[in-house]
Amino acid sequence: MDNDSTDRIVSGLRKWIATAPPGAQLPSNRALVAEYAASPVTVAKAMRTLRGLGLVESRTGVGTFVRAVRTDRLPDYGWQTAALRSPHARIPALSTPLRSVAPDVIALHSGYPVGDLLPERLVRSALTRAARGEAAVNPAPAPGRPDLQAWFAQELAETFGGGVTAPTAREVIVLPGSQSGLSSIFRALVGFGQPMLIESPSYWGAILAAAQCGVRLVPVPSGPHGPEPEELSRAFAETGARVFYAQPNFANPTGAQWHPDLAAQILEVVRSHGAFLIEDDWAHDFGIDSTARPVAASDDAGHVIYLRSLTKSVSPSIRVAAMVVRGPARDRLLADRGAESMYVSGLLQAAALDVVTQPAWRTHLRGLRQQLRVRRDLLIAAVAEHAPGARLEQVPRGGLHLWLRLPDATNLQRLVRDCEAESVLVAAGNEWFPAEPSGPYLRLNFCGPDPQRFAEGARIIGRALAGQLG
């Protein structure tokens, strides 16, 4: 409540500052208390925020003023050009799905579900309980809390059939989100300048992490049903790669789920090349027409390194994920994690475990499946009606997104710009391709805010598309 009031004052004053001349005096704190019906503490907090943003400056005993931009002496950072030299890869400053937006925008670009789809009540009480416990003041063990390691191992073990030995808690490394697990794997198991096979299209964050680690990506085409085993085998043989990164369940962006026969063939190819499969099971909790079937459940020889995240299904603020890794690779990865961040906040681990071990968690997941279906079908219908030029090649059986093929002649950059000019944020598909895109695509998230505005968003996309293509 207090934070809401602070945000309201900051947002109101930012609007005022935007039109005020430099040096203009802000209303006194007393006037702001009256205007916003807020406490003096809240007003003081809002002022601190504005000062932190560099928008205002306070003079003791005089008041607070709009900060004048001093143009007489611009800072000179030229020396950094020589010190930094060229980057080894051109990495975008901020990928589209990470952009934050104004509240009135129709946000179809993001990769995370909106708060309505999270187990908010469970999260809040888990955080409160965790804050009261030992975890709030102690470091956690480097591989993770043993009880949380055991939970991740058990979750995966439940998907194992007969004849394959399930993983143990020791084979689990808890992570502060699976993104940093990807970086660790690329750094510790692939290495700078070495090749790694990756589905194309694939997750932008994996492409980015690989670029940052200097890993050379080798794309393997992956259609609506997954990659071709023969093509994968050829790529292993041609490049000498020993690692294949893939999302067998509800892939980001296509929503594809591998058929069990395909999964078995892919695993066989990986085994026959003495390689690792990095299985990113990011959407494990987001099945709609099907449930996730981890490929890791068919492997006990250490070929599959399995990543499972709770950041999207529990809460983006509880950044907890895990990898399950067997054999000497585990020690390499644990060493990398130690160097990277030592351990994951025990408080967040305790809260995550609390949420997923409540009986209400299962109930939540069942309800979530229904909500995802309604939202997915709503956006599909809206696109079909208002943006018929955008073709859905496959209804995603799970996940959070639609992957839409646009006509060949589409100028994708212009389309994204035109939509944004009308307050609709969409993600251009190019960011999901490790090399040249195979065509113009859009990725739309059906789990963002305001599903009641999907039709309006689709209408704007449709109009921008029609405007280009006549």
Ligand X SMILES: Cc1ncc(COP(=O)(O)O)c(C=O)c1O
Interface contacts to ligand X, rule CB under 6 A: 111, 177-179, 203, 205, 247, 252, 280, 282, 309, 311, 321
Min. distance of Cβ 206 from ligand X in angstroms? 7
Please, which residues have CB within 8 angstroms of residue 39's CB and are 6 or more apart in sequence?
Answer: 5, 33
Min. distance of Cβ 181 from ligand X in angstroms? 8
Min. distance of Cβ 97 from ligand X in angstroms? 7
Q: Pick the closer one to ligand X by CB: 126 or 321.
A: 321
Q: Pick the closer one to ligand X by CB: 177 or 462.
A: 177
Min. distance of Cβ 132 from ligand X in angstroms? 26
Q: Pick the closer one to ligand X by CB: 56 or 353.
A: 353
DSSP label at residue 158? T
Q: Which of 221, 299, 302, 301 is nearest to 263 (CA)?
A: 299
Q: Pick the closer one to ligand X by CB: 64 or 309.
A: 309
List Cβ<8 Å contacts ≥24 apart for 66-73.
66/17, 66/20, 66/21, 66/22, 66/23, 66/24, 66/26, 67/22, 68/22, 68/23, 69/22
Q: Which residues pair with 90 in a beta bridge?
A: none
Q: Pick the closer one to ligand X by CB: 111 or 396.
A: 111
- The angle subtended at Cα 97 by Cα 421 and Cα 416, nearest 5°, is 30
Q: Pick the closer one to ligand X by CB: 13 or 189.
A: 189
Min. distance of Cβ 312 from ligand X in angstroms? 6
- Please name the residue that has the structure tokens 């113009």: 440
Q: Pick the closer one to ligand X by CB: 399 or 451.
A: 399
CA distances from 420 to 98, 368, 370, 424 (A): 15, 29, 30, 5
User: Length of the chain in residues, anyone?
Assistant: 470
- The angle subtended at Cα 286 by Cα 280 and Cα 290, nearest 5°, is 95
Min. distance of Cβ 321 from ligand X in angstroms? 4
CB 458 within 8 A of CB 385: yes
219 φ, ψ (degrees, to nearest 5): -75, 140
Min. distance of Cβ 159 from ligand X in angstroms? 19
Q: Pick the closer one to ligand X by CB: 46 or 404.
A: 404
The number of helix segments (H) and strand segments (E) in the chain equals 15, 16
Q: What is the enclosing helix (H) or strand (E) of 309?
A: strand 304-309
Min. distance of Cβ 231 from ligand X in angstroms? 21
Q: Pick the closer one to ligand X by CB: 64 or 178.
A: 178
Min. distance of Cβ 309 from ligand X in angstroms? 3
Q: Which residues pair with 222 in a beta bridge?
A: 227
* Residue with the shortest CB distance to ligand X: 177
C-alpha to C-alpha distance for 328 and 182, rounded to whole angstroms: 17
C-alpha to C-alpha distance for 343 and 394, rounded to whole angstroms: 40
C-alpha to C-alpha distance for 380 and 384, rounded to whole angstroms: 6
C-alpha to C-alpha distance for 92 and 208, rounded to whole angstroms: 8
Q: Pick the closer one to ligand X by CB: 5 or 311.
A: 311
Min. distance of Cβ 121 from ligand X in angstroms? 21
Q: Which residues pair with 195 in a beta bridge?
A: 216
Count Cα atoms within 13 angstroms, Cβ side, for 79. Answer: 2
| Ramachandran class of 100: left when φ > 0, alpha when ψ lies in -120 to 50, beta otherwise | beta
Min. distance of Cβ 245 from ligand X in angstroms? 10
Q: Pick the closer one to ligand X by CB: 376 or 386.
A: 376
Question: Tell me, what amino acid is at 59?
Answer: R
